[in-house]
Structure 1
Amino acid sequence: MQYQGVLRKMQTEIGDPIQYYLLFDGDFLNLNQVLNKELSITFIKFQCLNCGEERPIFRQGFCRSCFYEIPTAGDWIMRPELSTAHLDKEDRDLEYEKKVQLQPHIVYLANSSNIKVGVTRKSQVPTRWIDQGAHEAIEIVEVPNRYLAGITEVALKDHIGDKTNWRKMLTNDVDDEDLIAYRNKLKNYIPNEALDYYIENNEETHMIFPVIQYPEKVKSLNLDKTPHYKGRLKGIKGQYLIFEDNTVFNVRGNEGYVVGLEVQ
């Protein structure tokens, strides 16, 4: 089976295990069906996810000029506390920013390699947790806009981490934690503006990833340095493909790369 197209982050469906899909124009590949098979990846060219031009990818699948111009790459994406749509104040495109920022957001705890705090739109639960490779997660607050979620995350970051150790996540060097107890402890640090939105009674969500074999020590595949790679797929976790020789490939980290795939 052969496929070709521009890489975008894998689409997922919650299940036991989680189902993963690569979507191309007019075609798709269910990667769970590729487990234990040989998969080759060949870099062909760049294609910016916004303008579609063949330009080197700068960040998030966009060329440099698009990254600094389009509303989908504004600073508030990575730093939600910078959101201003609730003030009717534009960053790059107020209509778009209102659409995204002025909707329910979740501040959560997720355990991928360690417990971390994060923010996502409510509509992205549990997709966001799956993308981070979290095997367990829980909501802390549900607020009506991105700004309130952002200032809550900033306040909680003084008491718990906000980063994932992707190497630990991929080697499955993780422990189960009592996220309910952590949530309850963190309540004391939620800003007053968001305290009324605290979620008092909820349970952890658990994710099961399709992994046959975890790597002992990860080697990251860089298509710029290694434009062709072939290996036996042994697992999928987060947005990573895991191969038998300990190679891992970050699909989301290579958005905007046009590749050829062959399954044998």
Structure 2
Amino acid sequence: MTYQGVLKKMMTSNNDVVQYYLDMEADFLNMNQLINKEITLSFVKYECLNCGLEKQIYRQGFCQSCFFETPRAGDWIMRPELSKAHLGVEDRDLEFEKEMQLKPHIVYLANSSNVKVGVTRKAQVPTRWIDQGAHEAIEILEAPNRYLAGITEVALKEHVADKTNWRKMLTNDNEDADLVAVKEQLSQYIPDEAKEYYLKANSEEIHINFPVEKYPEKVKSLNLIKTPTYSGVLKGIKAQYLIFEDNTVFNVRANEGLVVSIEV
């Protein structure tokens, strides 16, 4: 069977093993069911996730003009400390920014390739950890808005990483860490204005299991623009990556805005 649609990040459900779902417009695929099957991915065209036009994707699934105009790509998304909605200050669309920024946010530790600090809206827990390929995570504090979570992340990343080594994550080259101990150690560096939101009583690690039959020994990243058609046996899914038997990996989220066909 052949399915076609514009790529958006896979939806997930954190069961005993993470379940992955891909919305292909007319079809809704449970990607776990495709593991150990040969699939063919083909690039069809571009489709901007904002304007819907067939324009080359610039970043985050948006064409260049939309990337610099849509509030869904404001600087505060990648840098939460730049959030200003709590001050009533508009970046691109104040109503949208209030809706996104003035919600409870979690500052967390996640361990995928290494222990890192991050920020996400509370409603995105544990989705954010799954998307990063974290096999364990813990909440540090719950702030009432994105700004306070952002300045906390800035303070803590002076003492712990804020990036994931995606190659190590995909080869499963990681070690378990005592996140409770790391959390306690980092608590002294939380900014004064955010200290009251520290989750002292909430010190339970969350563990995540990914549906991977075989990890790659050395990853080869698939670029569907340069290689418009690829076939391989799917051996697993981790973070937002499809992992194939020949060590090829395909980052679904990094290819948002590409219309593809999937033949099974």
The secondary structure found in structure 1 opposite 2:197 is coil
Specify the alignment match of 1:40 in structure 2: 40
TM-score by length of structure 1 reads 0.99
Q: Name the CA distance, whole Å, in 1 between partners of 2:244 and 2:214.
A: 8
Q: Name the CA distance, whole Å, in 2 between partners of 1:228 and 1:36.
A: 19
TM-score by length of structure 2 reads 0.99
Instruction: State the identity %.
Output: 71
1:191 aligns with 2:210: no
The amino acid that maps onto 1:57 is I
Q: Name the CA distance, whole Å, in 1 between partners of 2:39 and 2:26.
A: 20
| Shift of residue 16, structure 1, vs aligned partner | 1.5
Specify the alignment match of 2:213 in structure 1: 212
* Match runs of 1:146-225 below 5 Å: 146-201=146-201, 202-225=203-226
The secondary structure found in structure 1 opposite 2:199 is coil
Q: Deviations over 1:122-159 (max 9, x none)?
A: 00000000000000000000000000000000000100
Q: Deviations over 1:41-96 (max 9, x none)?
A: 00000000000000000000000000000100000000000000000000000000
1:53 aligns with 2:53: yes
Deviates further, 22-31 or 109-118: 22-31
Q: Name the CA distance, whole Å, in 2 between partners of 1:43 and 1:163.
A: 29
Q: Name the CA distance, whole Å, in 1 between partners of 2:24 and 2:197.
A: 39
Q: Deviations over 1:10-56 (max 9, x none)?
A: 00000121000100223111000000000100000000000000000
Runs of 4+ in 1 over 4 A off after TM superposition: none
* Match runs of 1:221-236 below 5 Å: 221-236=222-237
The secondary structure found in structure 1 opposite 2:60 is coil
The secondary structure found in structure 2 opposite 1:26 is coil
The secondary structure found in structure 2 opposite 1:129 is helix
Q: Name the CA distance, whole Å, in 1 between partners of 2:82 and 2:26.
A: 37
The secondary structure found in structure 2 opposite 1:95 is helix
Q: Name the CA distance, whole Å, in 1 between partners of 2:121 and 2:24.
A: 25
Structure 2: tracts of 5 or more residues without a match: none
Q: Name the CA distance, whole Å, in 1 between partners of 2:25 and 2:150.
A: 35
The secondary structure found in structure 2 opposite 1:4 is strand
The secondary structure found in structure 1 opposite 2:97 is helix
Q: CA RMSD in A?
A: 0.5
The amino acid that maps onto 2:260 is V
Specify the alignment match of 2:91 in structure 1: 91
Q: Deviations over 1:186-218 (max 9, x none)?
A: 000000011000011220000000000000000
1:82 aligns with 2:82: yes
Specify the alignment match of 1:123 in structure 2: 123
How many residue pairs get aligned? The number is 263
Specify the alignment match of 1:260 in structure 2: 261
Structure 1: tracts of 5 or more residues without a match: none
Q: Name the CA distance, whole Å, in 2 between partners of 1:25 and 1:130.
A: 23
1:245 aligns with 2:251: no
The secondary structure found in structure 1 opposite 2:42 is strand
